[in-house]
Structure 1
Amino acid sequence: MIDHFLDLFASEDTISALELHLAKASGADRVTALINLAWHMRQRDWKRALVLANEVDLTIYDANLAPTELTRSKARIRLMRAEIKSLAADLDGAEAEIDLALTRFKSINDNIGCGDCHWLLAYIWQDRGHSREIEIHLSLALHQYELADEPVRIAATNARILARTAFVDIGSATEQLDRLFPDLSQFPDVVVTWIVTSRATIAALTDDPGAAIKLDLQAYQTALNCGQIRHALICAANVAEGFATLSDMHSALEWAENALALARNTQWPYSIGICLMQVGDVLRRLERYSDAKSFLLEAITQLSSMASSRGNINSLNHLGMVALDEEQFEEALQYFASIEHNIEAQRDRDQLIIMSRGQATALLRLGRIQEASAKANESIKLAIEQGSADEQIKSLRVLAELHKEADLPPPDNMVLPSASLHYLDQALKLANTVKGYLIPPDLLNQIASEYAACGDYKSAYETGVTATTARNDTRISEAQNRAIAMQVRREIDRNRAETEQQIKLTEALQNTNATLETLGLIGRKITASLDTRAVLEALHFHANELLDSWSFIIYLLNEEKTHLQVVFGYETGLTEPFPLFEIPCDHPTSLAVSCIRENREIVINSSRDRLHSRTIPGTQQATSMLFAPLKVGQRTLGVMSIQSPKENAYGERECSIFRTLCAYGAIALDNASAYTAVEDARKRALIQEQELRIAAIAFESHEGMLITDAQQKILRVNSAFSNIIGYSSEEVIGKLPSMFRSPYHDDSFYRMLMSVGDEFEAWQGEVWTQRKNQETFPLWITVTAVRSLDDKITHFIFSLVDITDRKVAEDEIRNLAFYDPLTKLPNRRLLSERLQHALATSSRSNNEGALLFIDLDNFKKLNDTRGHDIGDLLLEEVGQRLSLCLRQGDTAARLGGDEFVVLLEELSDNSRQAADLAELVAQKIQTILNRPYTLNGKTHHISPSIGVTLFKSHDVTVDDLLKQADLAMYQAKDAGRNAIRFFDPEMQKIVDTHAALEADLRQALISHQFVLHYQIQINSEQKIVGAEALLRWNHPERGTVLPGEFIHLAEDNGLILPLGDWILDSACKQLRKWAQTPETEHMSIAVNISPRQFHDTNFVDNVTAAIKRNHVDPTKLKLEITESILLKDIDTVIVKMRVLMDLGVRFSLDDFGTGYSSLAYLKRLPLEQLKIDQSFVRDIFIDANDLAIVRAIVTLGLSLGLSIIAEGVETTEQRDFLESCGCHTFQGFLFGRPMAAERLPFANEHTLH
């Protein structure tokens, strides 16, 4: 039966328990488990939730559920699907599904289900931006939960309502939070998330951003813990906004990107859109306008199905502001107009205010004064209605600027000398009324300037003084905010570091389907018992519950370790007492003996795996068997076994659970045995009370134990102590523990250690001591004083644990974290820390340092041809050689692959001298790395390319330095390798320009900035026979950009594929237009095809689709390919060409003769035409070689039956010569420049004059 009180959200432990239960469940129980798990996976993994729901659909009618349970189950699955639809931005579809679910829940009086429907409807109306409907549905949800008397949902809903109340009534929200939720520990994570969110909102609204960030972080973590992924996204976004409030924009960007990464993982369009919008807004504040615009445009795309949503409207406002920042005022007006025409936007006053003010600013800049004035006044009116002082101030400043720029009628009741001053003064007065509002210094400066312009120099001076004070106040506030942000970041980092170990443990435990809660409970129950029989029965019970345990047996070793004794057994259906017997430990075929002897788990899943599948005389035949040793530390107690008549009964999951039971069982049996031994010892003799206590404490443990008297003379040690220290008990009894002292600690330490009992009852800590062989090693020692009934110290007990392995592991972990495992050099993380330190030191000392970026030339070739083993050996040798070149205090690090970095600190306070020293070290490195390498008996050679950059202060970041050195290294590569180059700032400008152009290129395709121009091609009769399509980019700032500047970028970043498809489609559209007119129906178009486009697997399909989509004659389409296309997989190239040729498409070989033309492939290609490159035509009468090449190309083409066309023809002499050689088709400036299709000279029956 489905749980009426199915939680809204669940913890990871609950999910794990549900998974474990589902694996065993069947029938109606499985349907219930499927519904429960699907419900709780709806936000964690909605695809898995739908798979589970589909199984419910297939099996629910076979489960024989009662009618009420059937209705409840179907309604719950429908509600789950509704939530997934809402997260996928299908709000209308989700609402329809919820209505159906709500109807079903109402029909069976399921108040919980009804409440859950209203809980989700509140989210849907939140996405639509309707506050009133949100409040209605939350109230309805609360009412339903109260009818059901479900305390967790009531608390969660109250907390969620208060999170909204905080925005309108902070005092009331605070009072109710304190009254309803005085102790967070009383509530589960689903409630804590909303309580903390409410308090975060209050902190943010009461100008405590530091507290708000911490609370939002707590809410973020609890939301993730209980599967509220949607709310976790909101909390991450709030953290980003909190950091932005503190002016820590880099942390804000980090958290905004964290939220975006989480959102992308969910694949929820609305959440992705909102997070993209926030990243775009942060980038705008960082003045990274191009990046901001890119993210905001993507946000608009994600939110396209919810054009009226607050997120979409907000994104349009941000795009408008970016356009204003970039002084693209017409573009800004377009974005604002998109909001203005949106009817739903009229509900959102905040966004309307921003829109109106943005429109006013854009219109002002465009000189449209009257329209700007109307919009500014509109924004002020809306701001007053909304009660937003900040927006009123901003709008008043726009009005002031309007009156300053244009001769507008002065406002009523104006008493100051100018209208501009009037509005600025109003803004200042309003700012002074807002508690905690920092008056912008630039507002005061504006007012001072206006006073000065009016001749009131006294007021100008006084206001200027006030501006200086305001500027100081602002700086103090910003400094305080930075300090708060730094403190919050440090707390975040500290919390993250503290949980790393726990995360590692959790990840390890998650590899098994058994949950910590289930097995932990079992372990506690088993190990809590000191009765051997109870332990055996408990092990049998849990093995039978969790596993297919048709037969269960426990063997224990006898004291002499000569026999295995069956001490407990159970077999299903066995009527006679279970046969108890023993097996000699040298038995040749016993599986239990093999398990002990080989110290391993034995798994048999088929009778074919073992000839003797019956292991106990008189018992039934078993097919699957599982044996595992019972061990405590290195001691083996015996064997536990289960058996089943089924094949393949024990997979990895079953083995994992069985191993856990064996571990708990061994500990419990050992404890029981130890307890029995102590009890027997007590019964055998009456000894002193103190010795009994010592025995109970010291020798139940398997740690090293040492017992002294009150004078610290050693009385007893156990065998574990002797194993650890190396001394036998005879060698130490009667002596003092000081015999194990090592030089690691001084006398004061040992005096402190011996003061146990005087100042404190016990002490524990790390102590380095000496073994008998004089080896120094670490122990974890606990010293406890034992007192008699009269409170006198009678003994000291020392407990010793050898932690050598742990210390080694800690060192290994540190090495893995900070050092490259291959070369043992510092890795990127440690280099970054040292470089940060070097920057700080350089700033203080005024000495310059240097960073050398070293890349091994042609290392990949060596690695691929000689093998990775040789490559690794060479990298190790390079690391060693680099270390030889450095001074003490310098750093050589490996970033990865064949990239190394050398950090030189404190070179000189003279820049020239520092550069000389850096170059000297670089030359030394170059020399030593050029020496031969003898690896595995063979000699190898390698050379370095080295980039150098100097640094002196904190003005440059670690990342910037690495980029500078990297750029310099690539300049060394470009210089022919095995070279040294220093960073040149001009290089950075080129890279930045390159990056900006690449970003613009992505936007260009979206914004339709590309056009095709056509250059006509004519024949000997001066008739136009076709045209070549040539791409042009109408850049909004740079004007027309030719392909030579951007095609290589498109090739590199993959944009050439969509761009090439657009060119093909546009050319086919033009062919269709020409085909509809008799004067141009004979025209063909030549389209250039890039190598990457040609080799794309969809190339043939894309060309075919463009032809069919536009209904054009394929014989009129000519594809121009270059020789570089032919250098890769010539057979595949020919196949593709033939497929398109069979369709009617023709091919022309462009730039023929400029590459590495091969007659062998030329005769195989299905070409129709050769094109003579313009570089040969240009110098045809200057360079005899060019003249000879042209004749050769024409002769070759004609002999192969190909037509010839020459490009770049600019003079009649060139044309006449080409025609005399046999070339009868031409293209070039002599006949026409590239131009738009509508401007081509189609006259006189296509004859060109």
Structure 2
Amino acid sequence: MLSNLKLSLEEARFRKLCDDTQAMSIQGYRSDGTVVYWNEASEKLYGYTADEALGSNLFDLIIPAEMAADVRQAVAWMFEHQQGIPSARLTLKHQDGTDVPVYSSHTVVALPNDEPIMFCMDADLRALDLAEAEVQKLMYFDPLTGLANRNLLLDHLQAAIQTTTKQHKVGAVLLIDVINFHSFNDSLGYESGDSVLRHCAQCISNEARQADTVARIGNDEFVLVLSALSSSFADAATIAEVRASQLLESISRPLNVHHHSLRVNARIGISFFSTQTMDCTILLQQADLALKAVKQQSTSAIGFFDKHMEAAVRHRLELSQALEHAIEQQQLRMVYQPQVNAERQLLSVEALLRWHHPRYGEISPNEFIPIAEASGSILRLGAWVLERCCEQSKLWSNNPKLETLGISINVSPAQFLDPDFVDHVRAILERTQVNPANIRFELTENLMAQNIDFIVQQMQELKQLGISISLDDFGTGYASLAYLTQLPLDELKIDRRFVKTLFKQGEGALLTEMIIGLGRSMNLTIIAEGVETNAQFERLRELGCEVFQGYLFGYPSDTLPDIN
């Protein structure tokens, strides 16, 4: 009798202890998962009242579906061996479906003449997780702007260096300094200064791509990491210069702070990276040296660590600005290089753009086309070229001898990927009344690195207009055989570098034969460019090439040659 009384008292004390424990959720379960005990702390942690939980099943209440099999196995083991398993951190579920991170301990209590019960004791880790997240935020993010701080910047910069190196490209570090920032604090107060910093952070973030990193590393200094800009240092420098100019323009837009209109100005120092051996700290130091040089002179707000590169970029920037006015100032013209058949009869021409500047003279397309692509002016140039070529083709078609003369027009990837490109082409065809059967668009292989489904759709819509499609530089870049079979092409063009090595044992000769055989099997016209000797012409004819282009048949000219 005394023994039973003692057990009752012990049980009462145990229940009292468990019921009053606010810091620890305690639940009791039968071997099948039925809930037999649920304290007040469990109600708060998981959202179920004791009345709702008692008699329900563990797996219906708090166990996520993806954990169910493992938990069933663990529960079965505990009841079989009548002992607990090691404590662990688990993510269980709340009544509303949200995650509940807990530190969970388990034991099995087996009393004489009573069924064993598994007790789970769960400590709520949500507050701890929030605290850890806050610590992480303080460690890696700037509290004022929400941008990455120096610690996170160094991690991201190291990753950008590795990614850029793998792609054999060049990246850039832009160090941005707010000019006379202290004057905002001194004249308008620290709240206004904070508004200026948040404004700058937003402007830089708006100009950043998804792959870029934006950070605040000092009181008034920000960093923008541009990864994988280009495979060429000169092109990467041009792109970085354009991005920096856009950034300065964005930052300088008027900002209203406490009824004051402020204009914020900044300076930018730029360094570049291209190999995994580049050290993050040194890159930042180089950008800082470039920034200091900018501060010492007043001619520009953008400076480069490499002075030779800076001079080259300055020249490219001047060309970029001049290119904006080249159309209006009638500095551009089209020239045409003949394309002939195996009997050297004129079939078509390739239209080539030329630029003569009054100060710089004749500028090579190899120089100004990349500049146009980097600055975005390629869309305007491409539209002008397309219009001139269609007008010229229409004029030629009025001559019975030239009625079917084809014209190949180079279309840049940026131009082709413009969603409005097909509509623009349709409008030009209608306006010029040119025969679309005489028009062929030449597309380069690097276009294939883009959305292949969209590319195929664009090609199909162009072919519906009557335009034919040629793939230029096949075998030099991105186009695989799998892609090639998807593309509604009419022509493959053998790159001049293969023609140049036609008589050497190696890749060039093999690829030339392969391209010709592949094109013929797909019923595509094969044209070889860069044909300069009779030996090359005869060898290409023997291999089955059908159309030829090169200095052997005529140089690019604004008049048509007489081909015998």
Normalising by structure 1, we get a TM-score of 0.24
Q: What is aligned with 2:318?
A: 996
Alpha-carbon distance in 2 for matches of 1:1020, 1:1051: 36
Q: What is aligned with 1:426?
A: none
Q: What is aligned with 2:178?
A: 829
- Selected match of 2:302 from 947, 956, 963: 963
Alpha-carbon distance in 1 for matches of 2:211, 2:444: 31
- Selected match of 1:1241 from 542, 546, 561: 561
Alpha-carbon distance in 1 for matches of 2:427, 2:523: 30
Partner of 2:320: helix, strand, or coil?
helix
- Selected match of 1:1166 from 469, 484, 488: 488
Cα deviation 1:874-901 (Å, max 9, x = unaligned): x68xx5xxxxxxxxxxx785325559xx
Compared CA separation, residues 953 and 1125, structure 1 to 2 (3 A): closer
1:1133 and 2:455 aligned: yes
Cα deviation 1:649-700 (Å, max 9, x = unaligned): xxxxxxxxxxxxxxxxxxxxxxxxxxxxxxxxxxxxxxxxxxxxxxxxxxxx
Compared CA separation, residues 1143 and 956, structure 1 to 2 (3 A): same
Q: What is aligned with 2:418?
A: 1096
Partner of 2:296: helix, strand, or coil?
coil
Q: Which amino acid aligns with 2:221?
A: R
Unaligned runs of 5+ in 1: 1-818, 835-854, 864-870, 880-890, 900-925, 931-942, 969-983, 1243-1247
Compared CA separation, residues 1036 and 897, structure 1 to 2 (3 A): closer
Alpha-carbon distance in 1 for matches of 2:506, 2:466: 39
Deviation at 1:1051, TM superposition (A): 1.5
The question of whether the paired residues in 1 share the 8 Å contact of 2:294 and 2:302 is answered with no
Alpha-carbon distance in 1 for matches of 2:280, 2:468: 57
Q: What is aligned with 1:1181?
A: 503
Summarize the alignment of residues 1003-1022 of structure 1 with structure 2, pairs less than 5 Å apart. 1003-1022=325-344
The question of whether the paired residues in 1 share the 8 Å contact of 2:443 and 2:471 is answered with yes
Q: Which amino acid aligns with 2:351?
A: A
- Selected match of 1:947 from 287, 305, 310: 287
Compared CA separation, residues 1185 and 1211, structure 1 to 2 (3 A): same
Alpha-carbon distance in 2 for matches of 1:1040, 1:1226: 27
Cα deviation 1:289-322 (Å, max 9, x = unaligned): xxxxxxxxxxxxxxxxxxxxxxxxxxxxxxxxxx
Compared CA separation, residues 1006 and 989, structure 1 to 2 (3 A): same
Deviation at 1:1052, TM superposition (A): 2.1
Deviation at 1:1042, TM superposition (A): 2.4
Count of residue pairs brought into register by the alignment: 325
- Higher relative contact order (Cα pairs below 8 Å, separated by 6+ residues): 2
Q: Which amino acid aligns with 1:1203?
A: T
Alpha-carbon distance in 1 for matches of 2:327, 2:179: 42
C-alpha RMSD of the superposition: 3.5
Deviation at 1:1241, TM superposition (A): 2.1
1:1057 and 2:397 aligned: no
Deviation at 1:944, TM superposition (A): 6.0
Compared CA separation, residues 1003 and 892, structure 1 to 2 (3 A): same
Q: What is aligned with 1:1040?
A: 362
Partner of 1:1005: helix, strand, or coil?
coil
- Selected match of 2:350 from 1015, 1019, 1028: 1028
Q: What is aligned with 2:409?
A: 1087
Deviation at 1:956, TM superposition (A): 2.5
Alpha-carbon distance in 2 for matches of 1:1218, 1:1019: 11
Summarize the alignment of residues 1067-1216 of structure 1 with structure 2, pairs less than 5 Å apart. 1067-1216=389-538
The question of whether the paired residues in 2 share the 8 Å contact of 1:1084 and 1:1117 is answered with yes
Partner of 1:1112: helix, strand, or coil?
coil
The question of whether the paired residues in 2 share the 8 Å contact of 1:1122 and 1:1150 is answered with yes
Which protein shows a greater Rg?
1
Q: Which amino acid aligns with 1:1234?
A: P
Compared CA separation, residues 862 and 1216, structure 1 to 2 (3 A): closer
Compared CA separation, residues 1053 and 1183, structure 1 to 2 (3 A): same
Alpha-carbon distance in 2 for matches of 1:1092, 1:954: 33
Q: Which amino acid aligns with 1:828?
A: D
The question of whether the paired residues in 1 share the 8 Å contact of 2:348 and 2:405 is answered with yes
Alpha-carbon distance in 2 for matches of 1:1097, 1:1116: 24
Partner of 2:326: helix, strand, or coil?
helix
Partner of 1:1072: helix, strand, or coil?
helix
Cα deviation 1:47-85 (Å, max 9, x = unaligned): xxxxxxxxxxxxxxxxxxxxxxxxxxxxxxxxxxxxxxx
Q: Which amino acid aligns with 2:561?
A: P
The question of whether the paired residues in 2 share the 8 Å contact of 1:820 and 1:827 is answered with no
Compared CA separation, residues 1145 and 821, structure 1 to 2 (3 A): closer
Compared CA separation, residues 894 and 1216, structure 1 to 2 (3 A): same
Unaligned runs of 5+ in 2: 1-143, 151-174, 184-203, 227-277
Alpha-carbon distance in 2 for matches of 1:954, 1:1147: 49
The question of whether the paired residues in 2 share the 8 Å contact of 1:1011 and 1:1033 is answered with yes
Summarize the alignment of residues 259-278 of structure 1 with structure 2, pairs less than 5 Å apart. none
Cα deviation 1:440-459 (Å, max 9, x = unaligned): xxxxxxxxxxxxxxxxxxxx
Compared CA separation, residues 985 and 928, structure 1 to 2 (3 A): closer
Alpha-carbon distance in 2 for matches of 1:1092, 1:945: 35
Q: What is aligned with 1:1225?
A: 547
Compared CA separation, residues 1232 and 1186, structure 1 to 2 (3 A): same
Cα deviation 1:597-636 (Å, max 9, x = unaligned): xxxxxxxxxxxxxxxxxxxxxxxxxxxxxxxxxxxxxxxx
Structure with greater strand share of residues: 2
Alpha-carbon distance in 2 for matches of 1:928, 1:1137: 44
Compared CA separation, residues 1164 and 1058, structure 1 to 2 (3 A): same
Deviation at 1:829, TM superposition (A): 3.4
The question of whether the paired residues in 2 share the 8 Å contact of 1:1118 and 1:1148 is answered with yes
Compared CA separation, residues 831 and 820, structure 1 to 2 (3 A): farther
The question of whether the paired residues in 1 share the 8 Å contact of 2:443 and 2:472 is answered with yes
Compared CA separation, residues 1059 and 820, structure 1 to 2 (3 A): same
Q: Which amino acid aligns with 2:355?
A: W
Deviation at 1:1143, TM superposition (A): 2.1
Normalising by structure 2, we get a TM-score of 0.52
Structure with greater helix share of residues: 1
Partner of 1:1004: helix, strand, or coil?
coil
Compared CA separation, residues 952 and 1040, structure 1 to 2 (3 A): closer
Q: Which amino acid aligns with 1:829?
A: V
Partner of 1:1086: helix, strand, or coil?
strand
Q: Which amino acid aligns with 2:289?
A: T
The question of whether the paired residues in 2 share the 8 Å contact of 1:831 and 1:893 is answered with no
Cα deviation 1:710-735 (Å, max 9, x = unaligned): xxxxxxxxxxxxxxxxxxxxxxxxxx
Q: Which amino acid aligns with 1:1163?
A: T
